[in-house]
Structure 1
Amino acid sequence: MVVGVEHAVQGTLDELGTPLSQITFVVFDLETTGVSAGEHAITEIGAVKVRGGEVLGEFATLVDPGTPIPPFISVLTGITDAMVAQAPRIGSVLPAFLEFSAGATLVAHNAGFDVGFVKAACAAHGHPPPAHPVLDTVTLARKLLTRDEAPNCKLATLARLFSSTEPCHRALSDARATVDVLHALIERAGSFGVHTLEELRGFTRAPTPAQRRNRHLAEAIPSAPGVYVFEDERGDPLYVGKSVNLRTRVRGYFTASETRPRIREMVGIAARVRPIVCATPLEAEVRELRLIGEAKPRYNRRSRFPEKVVWLKLTDELFPRLSIVREVKDDGAAYLGPFSGSRTADDARAALHEAVPLRRCTERITARTGRPACALAGIGRCGAPCEGRQSPEEYGRHVAAARRAMEVDATPVFAALEARMARLAAEQRYEEAAADRDRLAAYLRASARMQRLRALTSIPQLVAAAPAAGGGWEMHVIRYGRLVSAGVMPAGAHPAPFVAALTATAETVVPGPGPTPAAGAEETECVLRWLEGPGVRLVELDEGTEGTRDAEGTGGTGDTRDTAGAGGTGIGGDGAGRGWSMPVTGSARLLERIERARRATDAAERPHRRREGRPLR
């Protein structure tokens, strides 16, 4: 019997890859009129062709952008309108640059920016997009340099280390500096066994040593929806995230697909990953928000400080005023919000003051105050209760109008600002009119958001279901806008006993004051997004003693409309429950009018703004 013998076969050079010494690189840089490839134009192209460390040629030209160069760009680059007046347009320059770079590997510092402008120019002038391999010296530097060597990866910083050419925001000079940086980084990569283009491109995508070292942290993570918490040696949370599949998501942090520098840094110092399995994706989303707000992990950027929101408060005193506060109290006052910052809240307050002549002074006024009135009284913007010219009853009518505008009917504020904007526009005071439009939009956004939140947070208990991915139904119990219980009911099971068990074990909620009495606004909005998703069915709705109420708290249905009905215990009931409703005169419809007008104005102004070199909004 003859036994076959396997012979070793030497690989071909093609299989080994192309040595870097044989690669032609075109290192290029662009100067532009702005940062958006779709809206701004190229003003200068500079490129250097190199191979094996030798310069083969250079390409440099100014480009007429077809629009005035913004002054701050001229200050930054030194390129003025006069310099580009006789320069060719990009349609003439682009074919020459594409020919110069044909067959080469493109290199740029922050390549996504420069390549994006080249692709946009190709699309605008009928050229196919460049199919060249692309290298980014920023990405290479982040992989190869330590913070001790380079505190950042800006071109000027790297050029001080590796180049005698100082970048000056002129295309050819910056391209020459980038050539020196590229050669230095390639030399550094050689110590890691990187000798071919394929290895270099793979090296930039490879996980860091710290990522590879900590891969074992993902081994015991289950394949289930939930929340994951990266912790350090002391058990302090570093980062909190959520996923519908914890195992798949956590394993992704230890692969080349994770490219965020700060997250790679976090993975390197993590000592463990703690999974928190949740019954449903909604529960995972809510738990993530709560954990981030409580622990404030230093590598999370979103939702870390929910307590920093502010509210616009109509104070509860003899002569109420509008005040910006950080806390909602059970003091009988009316609240509008939440706002992300004081500036936005102040814009909304200005809009309300335009419609309702409330006092703007901050002193507490009593029936005996008797101090001189301010200038607002002289121009009819305040009834001067401080001077005794307005009784508490007369002033109370304005307070009632303000409360109604804050909570139910935005029409008076909209009408007052609309009339003022029309008057300003007729007087050609367009910037003042635009400022009023922005104030009105800030008020309407907050009002629409609060009305949407109140529609849910006023309901003592709501049970809803949605089809689960693996069959059955995702069930959630929501009390005053707070998710208090979650589970998955098997397909074919009767809902009554399942709902009874779910509600019996749910968290007890004692509602606090204000529009968000039991949970943060962001959590309630997560619940609302789920409730408004496809396939969601209301199972139970307990109106309690509050039911649907108007803004004055009379307990009646007021001028509301249903946004959802509720049947008895069952999935897809069509009963006549009225617990989830929104005001007919709500702010959402008026906000859409403002946003539609803004979009139309921006579209009409866009060509003029381009010609005048003004930034596009």
Structure 2
Amino acid sequence: MGFTAQSVGGQLTFADLENGGDDYTDRSLFDTTLVVVDLETTGGSPTEDRITEIGAVKIRGGEVIGEFATLVDPGRLIPPQIVTLTGITEAMVSDAPTIAQVLPSFVEFARGAILVAHNARFDMGFLRQNAARLDIDWPFNASLCTVTMARRILTRDEAPTVRLSALADLFDVSVRPTHRALDDARATVEVFHRLLERVGNQGVGTYRELTAYLPRSNPRLRAKRTLARDLPARPGVYLFRGPSDEVLYVGTAVDLRRRVLSYFTGSDPRRRIGEMVNLATRVDHVECAHALEAGVRELRLLAAHAPAYNRRSTQPHRGWWIVLTGERFPRLKVSRTPTEDALGPIGNRTTAATIADLIGQAAGLRSCTTRLGSASHHWCRSESVGGPQIGGCNAASDLPQTLPDYLPRVTAVRDLLSGDSDDVLTVLTDRLIRLSDAQMFESAARHRDRMSATIDALARCQRLAALCRIAELVVARPDQDRGWELAVIRHGRLASAGVARRGVAPMPVAATLVAAAETVVADDGPLLGAAPEEAGLLYRWVTEPGARIVSASEPFALPGACAERWSAWSQTAHAARTAPRRAG
């Protein structure tokens, strides 16, 4: 058992907490002693499982003033999956002190402080249960949970998950969580401080102000915890259903039971979610092989049910496409229906129209909607030499243009969309340089932003099209238990998913998944009928580090002149757009 501490003047005593409530609830958290604690256990039940390690960090004024760390002999076998997760073996704890020896020392170490933990319900539940079992007085009436804080303070887009590892990555903390108690407690300290920084300018500085700011538990919500009683601790999709059996909300989880239980704590600040949970009468679930399958099934269920309380992904094929018209002298237009060489989908029609206009200008495609009939030439007269005026046709000219004159422009656009040539992007870059050289900086900035949006849209469409062209792609990725997650992808759709557990040969499992995979018939359009969000989810999974291609019917490759080659340019443009302007 390790214990280090140094005294700091003004530290709260037990009497402060018991008799002088206002002394600590209204005192700045910066001036309050806090003990951040983390436990490792043999499982998730405070009554059935036992503690294997305690780690704690005492902080005050933003400084560490003491640490407490010890392994604990649980007096029972440690399950293999827990050994794999934490690295704590039975040999390591065989000579460790028991909880009866450790807990009194921890109580003295933390006495007079407010306890903080990541998922405090879990840690406090184990500590209180052991204190009661050993008939040890538990003097801690105040605690804070960084999970609850994160869900209240961070947006869902910023933090889709509030696991400690995810928050450590978000805040780039110096100590990474390792599923060992002291490391995780140290990481939680940094996460806690970063969360406090987020609310400091909102008048939240004391324990009382912070607990008032955080959501409070609702007895009606707690009473519905039984809806999660039969859910497994496995990856999957959950569906909240209402009084008429309608689907109210669809979500995905790596641990179905834990995720659904979180809805009944009142920690979600979104009003509509509280309303949804109050209406819910049952929770259905679909157990999945791994998180990828869960994500895909979630998207498909959202599209099938369009739940009232979900705000995204309920219309998977909705979006705007930039297409070439079928006229004799084609032009670009924005449409809901993609053609074979379309660009998209783009969520905002105005953005799609801006990109279409930019590409049309660079290539010299006409932008007027005049019907040209079957004439062999067209003539959009320009009032000024050097290009069309504002509001005029992009292809305006003083001389009639024949079809052979015009078709190379159409070919240049088709090559840009397919990734066979990026000459049009070079034209746009040259124009940006001319605007900058002429010191037309505002015009140059607008052109830069439009060009960046064009590159991003092209790159995304070309990436997804490359995946969707493959009739069958089998990919494997290692999981956390040293097994393999497997996916069979056909034309940008997940056709089958499974896992090869540690010690099981993955190739026979892959062959079985291929044999049982869903048949996918390619459709029209650049994505061959695949839903863009599903294809995007699959592309990210396939291209993340660790993924290995088991087999592929066609090469998985981007075209030689794809817009992905311009991604660094686009990132620089985004950075320039968001950078603060210098005064003067």
| 1:522 paired residue among 518, 527, 533 | 533
8 Å CA contact 2:341, 2:414 repeated in 1: yes
Q: Report the counterpart of residue 357 of structure 1 in structure 2.
A: 364
Cα distance in structure 2, aligned partners of 1:131 and 1:385: 64
| 2:350 paired residue among 336, 339, 343 | 343
8 Å CA contact 1:464, 1:536 repeated in 2: yes
8 Å CA contact 1:377, 1:383 repeated in 2: no
Aligned CA distance change for structure 1 residues 601 and 519 (closer, same or farther; 3 Å):
closer
Q: Report the counterpart of residue 435 of structure 1 in structure 2.
A: 446
Q: How many residue pairs align between the two structures? A: 400
Identity of aligned residues (%): 37
| 1:534 paired residue among 545, 552, 560 | 545
Aligned CA distance change for structure 1 residues 383 and 353 (closer, same or farther; 3 Å):
closer
Aligned CA distance change for structure 1 residues 539 and 435 (closer, same or farther; 3 Å):
same
Cα distance in structure 1, aligned partners of 2:574 and 2:384: 34
Cα distance in structure 2, aligned partners of 1:467 and 1:372: 61
Q: Report the counterpart of residue 44 of structure 1 in structure 2.
A: none
**3-state SS in 1 of match to 2:582:** helix
Offset of residue 448 of structure 1: 0.7
Give the alignment of 1:358-373 within 5 angstroms: 358-368=365-375, 373=380
Q: Which stretches in structure 1 are left out of the alignment for 5+ residues?
A: 1-11, 27-110, 119-129, 137-200, 544-578, 613-617
| 1:584 paired residue among 557, 560, 581 | 560
Larger Rg: 1
Confirm or deny that 1:135 pairs with 2:209: yes
Q: Report the counterpart of residue 207 of structure 1 in structure 2.
A: 217
Aligned CA distance change for structure 1 residues 272 and 16 (closer, same or farther; 3 Å):
farther
Cα distance in structure 2, aligned partners of 1:296 and 1:360: 37
Offset of residue 385 of structure 1: 9.7
Q: Which amino acid aligns with 1:307?
A: H
Cα distance in structure 1, aligned partners of 2:437 and 2:26: 62
Offset of residue 597 of structure 1: 4.4
8 Å CA contact 1:210, 1:267 repeated in 2: no
8 Å CA contact 1:410, 1:587 repeated in 2: no
Aligned CA distance change for structure 1 residues 601 and 311 (closer, same or farther; 3 Å):
closer
Offset of residue 362 of structure 1: 2.2
8 Å CA contact 2:452, 2:573 repeated in 1: no
Cα distance in structure 2, aligned partners of 1:505 and 1:23: 60
Q: Report the counterpart of residue 312 of structure 1 in structure 2.
A: 322
Aligned CA distance change for structure 1 residues 254 and 589 (closer, same or farther; 3 Å):
same
Cα distance in structure 2, aligned partners of 1:211 and 1:288: 24
Cα distance in structure 2, aligned partners of 1:474 and 1:237: 29
Offset of residue 433 of structure 1: 1.1
8 Å CA contact 1:383, 1:389 repeated in 2: no
Q: Report the counterpart of residue 479 of structure 1 in structure 2.
A: 490
| 2:431 paired residue among 415, 420, 433 | 420
Cα distance in structure 2, aligned partners of 1:590 and 1:243: 35
Give the alignment of 1:112-131 within 5 angstroms: 115-116=200-201
Aligned CA distance change for structure 1 residues 418 and 217 (closer, same or farther; 3 Å):
same
**3-state SS in 1 of match to 2:369:** coil
Aligned CA distance change for structure 1 residues 361 and 274 (closer, same or farther; 3 Å):
same
Q: Report the counterpart of residue 581 of structure 2 in structure 1.
A: 606
Aligned CA distance change for structure 1 residues 302 and 602 (closer, same or farther; 3 Å):
closer
Offset of residue 231 of structure 1: 0.9
Q: Report the counterpart of residue 334 of structure 1 in structure 2.
A: 341
- Deviation per residue, 1:106-134 (Å, 9 max, x gap): xxxxx98772378xxxxxxxxxxx96335
Q: Report the counterpart of residue 289 of structure 1 in structure 2.
A: 299
Cα distance in structure 2, aligned partners of 1:596 and 1:284: 35
| 1:260 paired residue among 256, 259, 270 | 270
8 Å CA contact 2:377, 2:400 repeated in 1: no
Offset of residue 308 of structure 1: 2.9
Cα distance in structure 2, aligned partners of 1:363 and 1:520: 34
Q: Report the counterpart of residue 396 of structure 1 in structure 2.
A: 407
8 Å CA contact 2:452, 2:574 repeated in 1: no
Q: Which amino acid aligns with 2:355?
A: A
**3-state SS in 2 of match to 1:305:** coil
**3-state SS in 1 of match to 2:401:** coil
**3-state SS in 2 of match to 1:447:** helix
8 Å CA contact 1:311, 1:324 repeated in 2: yes
Cα distance in structure 2, aligned partners of 1:225 and 1:376: 64
Aligned CA distance change for structure 1 residues 266 and 25 (closer, same or farther; 3 Å):
same
Aligned CA distance change for structure 1 residues 223 and 366 (closer, same or farther; 3 Å):
same
8 Å CA contact 1:365, 1:386 repeated in 2: no
Cα distance in structure 2, aligned partners of 1:22 and 1:583: 63
Q: Which stretches in structure 2 are left out of the alignment for 5+ residues?
A: 1-13, 29-195
Cα distance in structure 2, aligned partners of 1:377 and 1:203: 63
Q: Report the counterpart of residue 594 of structure 1 in structure 2.
A: 570
- Deviation per residue, 1:292-320 (Å, 9 max, x gap): 12222122122223333101001233221
Aligned CA distance change for structure 1 residues 117 and 206 (closer, same or farther; 3 Å):
closer
Aligned CA distance change for structure 1 residues 234 and 601 (closer, same or farther; 3 Å):
closer
8 Å CA contact 1:410, 1:444 repeated in 2: no
- Deviation per residue, 1:212-270 (Å, 9 max, x gap): 12111111111111000111011111111101110111111112433333212211111
Cα distance in structure 2, aligned partners of 1:115 and 1:17: 28
- Deviation per residue, 1:556-588 (Å, 9 max, x gap): xxxxxxxxxxxxxxxxxxxxxxx1111232212
8 Å CA contact 2:320, 2:352 repeated in 1: yes
Aligned CA distance change for structure 1 residues 409 and 606 (closer, same or farther; 3 Å):
farther
Give the alignment of 1:75-154 within 5 angstroms: 115-116=200-201, 132-135=206-209
Aligned CA distance change for structure 1 residues 586 and 486 (closer, same or farther; 3 Å):
same
**3-state SS in 1 of match to 2:209:** strand
**3-state SS in 1 of match to 2:416:** helix
- Deviation per residue, 1:415-458 (Å, 9 max, x gap): 22222222222332211111111111111011111111122111
Aligned CA distance change for structure 1 residues 327 and 377 (closer, same or farther; 3 Å):
farther
Offset of residue 374 of structure 1: 4.7
Offset of residue 373 of structure 1: 2.6
Aligned CA distance change for structure 1 residues 18 and 289 (closer, same or farther; 3 Å):
farther
Q: Which amino acid aligns with 2:559?
A: P
8 Å CA contact 1:409, 1:587 repeated in 2: no
Q: Report the counterpart of residue 50 of structure 2 in structure 1.
A: none
Structure 1 stretch 269-278 or stretch 362-371: which is displaced more?
362-371
Q: Which amino acid aligns with 1:416?
A: V
Cα distance in structure 1, aligned partners of 2:415 and 2:383: 23
Aligned CA distance change for structure 1 residues 240 and 319 (closer, same or farther; 3 Å):
same
Structure 1 stretch 486-495 or stretch 451-460: which is displaced more?
486-495
Cα distance in structure 1, aligned partners of 2:582 and 2:395: 48
Aligned CA distance change for structure 1 residues 248 and 598 (closer, same or farther; 3 Å):
closer
- Deviation per residue, 1:373-396 (Å, 9 max, x gap): 354896555696999922323322
Confirm or deny that 1:249 pairs with 2:259: yes
- Deviation per residue, 1:31-88 (Å, 9 max, x gap): xxxxxxxxxxxxxxxxxxxxxxxxxxxxxxxxxxxxxxxxxxxxxxxxxxxxxxxxxx
**3-state SS in 1 of match to 2:466:** helix
Confirm or deny that 1:405 pairs with 2:416: yes
